[in-house]
Amino acid sequence: MNLVFTSPMYPSVRKRTVFEVINDTSIFNNTRKLSMYRTFPCLATVAMPTTQAYDYELENKKHELLSSVQETRRGLLTTADQRSSIEEALVTVEGYNRGEPIDLTRLDGTWRLQYTSAPDVLILLEAAARLPFFQVGQIFQKFECRDQSNGGVIRNIVRWSIPTLLEEQEGATLLVSAKFTLVSVRNIYLQFEEVLQFLRTFKAQLPVTARDSGRRLVGGLYYLSFLDDNMLVGRAVGGGGVFVFTKSQNLY
């Protein structure tokens, strides 16, 4: 005799057949989900979006590059092993946006030199290291190309001083100006126009070469191998050296 006890507190529960249990896929789905959560409890938090992972990796490579040039005094003191490591770090960073067109809006602004292998710049740094009365301060490249589509103006700025005579804060500034035009996706052509010497102590501006002198200054190709919001890497085509810059505040 099969009696079923029912009451408001104990409702009747019908026994389910084996086939009904097997056909109820929700049991297996819920079990599978529970198993996955138990096995991979942080699956959703560990997987970073692709863009975020890319940016994180790039910032690490840029940091490695800056760390490798930190003790070189902007490229003046390097060993063969250091130059090899720096070049490897450079090529790695350059690979992140190789082939992308130059963004002139992003390029616009002032960039401070962190490292170079360019002979014409290293001569200045070497002279400052050997001559106690000559000091080279910060070196900048200033691009003026906002709202332009095919080029702009570039100004190479070198601050220098002579202790007790021309202090760095009130010393001299060498300014080399050039117009540049885009000639390919990553190459710009520089046509140098004038070289000026500013003596802040005497509030004087001395033209080293003038625009109306009849002499046309030498131009050259400049390959911008990497550019983002806070780093610029350029290579002077023809063995002129490599340049590593970081974004700086505008000078004027």
List the domain boundaries for the chain.
Answer: 16-47, 50-248
Question: 53 is written with which tokens?
Answer: 């992972």
Q: Would you state the torsion angle of the CA atoms of residues 114, 163, 125, 193, taken in this order, to the nearest 10 degrees?
A: 80
Q: Which residue has the higher pLDDT, 115 or 207?
A: 115
Mean pLDDT of 195-215: 54
Q: Do the beta carbons of residue 153 and residue 145 sit within 8 Å?
A: yes
- Please write the tens of the pLDDT for every residue from 5-46: 334 443 444 444 443 444 444 443 444 444 443 444 444 444
Mean pLDDT of 199-214: 50
* pLDDT score for 80: 96
The answer, yes or no, to whether residue 218 has pLDDT greater than 60, is: yes
Q: Quote the CA–CA distance of 128 and 76 in Å, as a whole number.
A: 10
Lowest mean pLDDT segment, chosen from 18-22, 72-76, 167-171, 176-180: 18-22
Concatenate the DSSP letters of all residues of 44-76 into one string. HHHS--HHHHHHHHHHHHHHHHHHHHGGGTTTT
Mean pLDDT of 84-97: 96
Q: Which residue has the higher pLDDT, 236 or 250?
A: 236
* pLDDT score for 133: 82
**Whether the predicted model's global pTM rises above the 0.85 cut:** no
Looking at the DSSP bridge assignments, the partners of residue 209 are 195
In this structure, the number of other CB atoms found within 10 A of the CB of residue 206 comes to 11
Q: Quote the CA–CA distance of 14 and 22 in Å, as a whole number.
A: 16
* pLDDT score for 95: 95
Mean pLDDT of 138-150: 95
Lowest mean pLDDT segment, chosen from 38-42, 145-149, 206-210: 38-42
What class, spelled out in words, does domain 50-248 have in CATH? mainly beta
Looking at the DSSP bridge assignments, the partners of residue 224 are 234
Q: What is the mean pLDDT of the chain?
A: 79
Q: Which residue has the higher pLDDT, 16 or 55?
A: 55
Q: Do the beta carbons of residue 63 and residue 115 sit within 8 Å?
A: no
Q: Quote the CA–CA distance of 147 and 144 in Å, as a whole number.
A: 9
Largest pairwise CA distance in the chain: 122
CA proximity to 86, closest of 68, 102, 62, 99: 68
Cα 128 to Cα 91, 114, 137, 245: the distances in Å are 30, 16, 9, 20
Q: Quote the CA–CA distance of 79 and 93 in Å, as a whole number.
A: 21
229: exposed, middle or buried (C-beta count within 10 Å: 0-12, 13-18, 19+)? exposed
Dihedral sign of CA atoms 146, 250, 93, 237 in order: positive
